[in-house]
Chain A
Amino acid sequence: MRDREEIIVVKGLTKRYGPLVAVNSVSFSVGEGEVFGVLGPNGAGKTTTVEILEGMRTPDSGTATVAGIDVVREAAKVKGIIGVQLQTSAFFDGLNLVELLELFGTLYRRKVVGRQLLEQVELADKAKASYKHLSGGQKQRLAIAAALVNNPRVLFLDEPTTGLDPQARRHMWGLIRSLQQEGKTILLTTHYMEEAEELCNRVAIMDMGRVIALDTPAALIDQLLAKGFRNERPPRLANLDDVFLDLTGKSLRED
């Protein structure tokens, strides 16, 4: 993506937890407007990398900037311009969703219209509900709405579709695409390869704390085929996911 302005620049990022090197001199950059996927098995260092970029953890060495702002030295400033959806987090129970989003707005010193954000993530009908009464997919969409309160240029989504049913997953894909169309840069981690293929302009594959591959999904597949790899069961024109959605419909089932 050489034609894009670089908005996230990571250089030699390293983070150790005792003897474990969770992130081992990781470098990459993300262009503005890209959907960038960080893939890898559990424990590969995806979440640690993302949380360093979010200003939530300090690396042992290396640098990272978001929109030119150093994430270590100016963590608070970075937090102000990014939107964050964490892998494990929750929201206050005592408030309804509109109040919750408006409260989050005040954390960024912004006046937000909770209902508008809920409409953007298609949760408007749950405006008066409380967080604990939401389904898994709804909770993830609320987390994204909360990540949008400061109208961020960069969004970090950590496994936004883990645990969702196929309908909710596809719905989330649609939401991510529409956010990209608004011009937002999105850094996404996922365990689902078809999701990465579907959404990401480029992906970085991590293992044992290192980036072991970085390119567009199509280029990575071509590289594999060039090595002579052939899928033992050639893909068919439809898969079980399509069967499931054909039988159960594409509409959301969580209400």
Chain B
Amino acid sequence: MYLRNRQALFWALFLPIIIMVIFGLFNFDSAPKVKIRVADQARTPASEAFVGALGQSGIVELTQGDREAALEELKKGGIDMVVVLPPGFGAAGQQPAVEALYHSGRPQSARTGETVVNRVLDEMAFQAAGVERPFKLETRPVEARNLRYIDFLVPGVIAMAIMQMGIFSVAFALIQFRQQGVLRRLKAAPIRPGDFLVGQVITRLLISILQTAALIGMGVVFFGVHVEGSYVTLMTLALVGGALFITIGFVISGYIRTEEVAAPVANVVAMPMMFLSGVFFPRDTLPAFLRTLTDYLPLTYLADGIREVALEGAGFVQVWGDFLGLGVWLVVCFILAARAFRWE
């Protein structure tokens, strides 16, 4: 029956995909370049060599201009650092001070900029003095498993989608059924509330599982996500997680009478989890007490579990803690849902 509501099915898949695409577009992976503007007041071969070397460093977005205008731009925040090459730069016998002015609010860019400028100056000094470097640095890439942001994101978004599909679809549908009197009519039939709940969870779980499979499929096909672990473990996690969030939907629909109230309540339940359970960003940046607290959120167990299986190839044994967490929540929520359930 729920499969007939094609619109609902579409939107349930659409939102997670949109999130994957949008967040996938952010380029969190490459280090941002430092914006340096050089005010070359020397105009000597040495100063030009400096500018050339700086431009080739690969991590500097280089522009040129005069000192005053560059300072203005720095104050506006358009650039990270201004380097002033004084007259006489590079001439033998002089030791002119090269000014490096940086944006006080961006210490990280400043440090990177300073390092690069220093290195270029050192290089020029070595050359001018004809000194051969006593050692050489060789850098070589090593083929490593390349964890991009999207690899982190997709498992998180799948966990989030399982949560959304569970909580929102169930809470609203049940409240609607009750308001229309559909549940009232069922009350007149010889069916126990517990049986009805279990039946609803199972049918909705089947759909949730299909949607999850579709999302994983799209993650693999369109975003090149590799699933290191077994799909069986992954789907089992999705199954237990799906059952949990559907049950949470029933808890909400049991305590809340109208759709108008259910909407904010469902959001109050879902939104904090979305941001605190490490769906979009790792939880490492949270304050310690909050991190400990969020360890026990239902969505944390699901997101961490899916991520460990997908990225680290974890099996049942490694994610048993997540299964346990989900299981405990499931039992608690089912008891709550059964107690709160009302036909009318």
Contacts and interface: CB of A to CB of B under 8 A. Distances in A.
Interface of A: 54-56, 76-77, 79-80, 84, 86, 88-92, 94-95, 99, 104, 107-108, 143, 146
Interface residues of B, number: 17
B189 A108 contact: yes
Nearest to B180: A90
Contact of A89 (B185, B190, B192): B185
Given A94-B2, A94-B4, A94-B5, A79 B189 contact: yes
14 contacts: A55-B188, A56-B187, A76-B192, A77-B190, A86-B181, A89-B185, A89-B188, A90-B182, A90-B185, A91-B185, A94-B5, A99-B1, A107-B191, A143-B185
Contact of A94 (B1, B180, B189, B191): B1
B286 interface: no
A185 to B, nearest CB: 17
Contacts of A84: 185, 188-189
Q: Which of B2, B180, B188, B192 has the most CB of A within 10 A?
A: B188
Contact of A92 (B1, B184, B187, B190): B1
Interface of B: 1-2, 4-5, 177, 180-182, 184-192
Given A94-B2, A94-B5, A79 B181 contact: no
A82 to B, nearest CB: 8
Nearest to A54: B188
Query: What 8 pairs between A and B have smallest CB-CB spacing?
Result: A89-B185, A94-B1, A89-B181, A79-B190, A84-B188, A90-B180, A107-B189, A80-B190
A131 B2 CA distance: 15
B189 A92 contact: no
A125 B317 CA distance: 58
Contacts of A143: 185
A94 B6 CA distance: 11
Given A56-B187, A90-B181, 19 more contacts: A54-B188, A55-B188, A76-B190, A76-B192, A84-B188, A84-B189, A86-B184, A88-B181, A89-B181, A89-B182, A89-B185, A92-B177, A92-B182, A94-B1, A94-B5, A95-B4, A99-B1, A107-B191, A108-B189
B194 to A, nearest CB: 12
A86 B188 contact: yes
B180 to A, nearest CB: 4
A20 to B, nearest CB: 18
Contacts of B1: 92, 94-95, 99
Contact of B184 (A55, A77, A88): A88
A142 to B, nearest CB: 11
A146 B184 CA distance: 13
Nearest to B196: A107
A212 B177 CA distance: 37
B189 A104 contact: yes
Nearest to A95: B1
Contacts of A146: 185
Nearest to A51: B188
B173 to A, nearest CB: 10
A94 B188 CA distance: 20
A143 B188 CA distance: 12
Contacts of B5: 94
B182 A91 contact: yes
B63 to A, nearest CB: 62
B285 to A, nearest CB: 44
B154 to A, nearest CB: 31
Contacts of B184: 86, 88-89
